[in-house]
Amino acid sequence: MSATSALAAELVAVCGEPHVFWRPEDVVVFEYDAGFDRRPPTAVVVPGTAAEVAACVRAARRAGLAVVPRGAGTGLSGGTIACGDALVISTSRLRRILEIDPVSRVAVVEPGVPNLAISEEARAHGLFFAPDPASQRVSSIGGNIGTNAGGPHALRYGSIVNHVLGVEVALPSGELATFGGPAPDLPGYDCVPLIVGSEGTLGIVTKAWLRLLPIAEDVRTFLALFHDVRAGASAASAIIARGIVPAAMEMLDRTTIRAVNEAFDVRLSEEAGSLLLVELEGLREETAAAAEDIVRICEAAGAFGIQVAADAARRDLLWKARKLGYPALARIKPNSYIHDAVVPRSKLPDVLDQVNRVAGRYGFIVANMFHIGDGNLHPLLLFDARTDPIERVMKASGEILKVAIDAGGTLSGEHGIGIEKNHFMFWVYGPEDLEAMQRARMAFDPEGGMNPGKVFPGGDACASIPTERIKKALAEGLWI
Binding site for ligand FAD (CB under 6 A): 33-34, 68-76, 79-80, 91, 111, 133-135, 139-140, 142-144, 146-147, 149-151, 199-200, 204-205, 326, 414-416, 418, 451, 454
Q: Residue 141 belongs to what H/E stretch? A: helix 141-147
> What is the closest distance, in whole angstroms, from the C-beta atom of residue 32 to ligand FAD in the complex?
10
Q: Which residues are paired to 209 by β-bridges?
A: 108, 166
Spatial neighbors of 406 by CB under 8 A, at least 6 apart, are none
| Of 178, 206, 195, 173, residue with least CA distance to 57 | 173
Indicate the residue among 88 and 366 with the shorter CB distance to ligand FAD: 88
Separation between Cα atoms, residue 476 and residue 462, nearest integer Å: 17
> What is the closest distance, in whole angstroms, from the C-beta atom of residue 168 to ligand FAD in the complex?
10
> What is the closest distance, in whole angstroms, from the C-beta atom of residue 270 to ligand FAD in the complex?
27
Separation between Cα atoms, residue 476 and residue 397, nearest integer Å: 14
Q: Is the dihedral of CA 175, 181, 186, 190 positive or negative?
A: positive
Indicate the residue among 69 and 272 with the shorter CB distance to ligand FAD: 69
Indicate the residue among 73 and 452 with the shorter CB distance to ligand FAD: 73
> What is the closest distance, in whole angstroms, from the C-beta atom of residue 250 to ligand FAD in the complex?
10
Indicate the residue among 230 and 246 with the shorter CB distance to ligand FAD: 246
Residue 119 — φ and ψ, nearest 5°? -65, -35
> What is the closest distance, in whole angstroms, from the C-beta atom of residue 121 to ligand FAD in the complex?
18
Q: Which residues are paired to 150 by β-bridges?
A: none
> What is the closest distance, in whole angstroms, from the C-beta atom of residue 346 to ligand FAD in the complex?
23
Spatial neighbors of 112 by CB under 8 A, at least 6 apart, are 71, 72, 90, 91, 92, 93, 94, 95, 140, 141, 142
Indicate the residue among 230 and 445 with the shorter CB distance to ligand FAD: 445
CA of 295: how far to CAs of 15, 261, 302, 307, in Å? 58, 24, 11, 9
Residue 56 — φ and ψ, nearest 5°? -65, -40
Separation between Cα atoms, residue 387 and residue 306, nearest integer Å: 41
Q: At what angle do helices 348-362 and 229-241 cross, to 10 degrees?
A: 150
> What is the closest distance, in whole angstroms, from the C-beta atom of residue 305 to ligand FAD in the complex?
26
Nearest residue (beta carbon) to ligand FAD? 143
Contact between 377 and 407 under an 8 Å Cβ cutoff? The reply is no
Indicate the residue among 30 and 222 with the shorter CB distance to ligand FAD: 30
Indicate the residue among 112 and 234 with the shorter CB distance to ligand FAD: 112
Separation between Cα atoms, residue 155 and residue 244, nearest integer Å: 11
> What is the closest distance, in whole angstroms, from the C-beta atom of residue 203 to ligand FAD in the complex?
7
CA of 430: how far to CAs of 89, 424, 435, in Å? 33, 11, 9
Indicate the residue among 72 and 278 with the shorter CB distance to ligand FAD: 72
> What is the closest distance, in whole angstroms, from the C-beta atom of residue 21 to ligand FAD in the complex?
16
Indicate the residue among 171 and 306 with the shorter CB distance to ligand FAD: 171
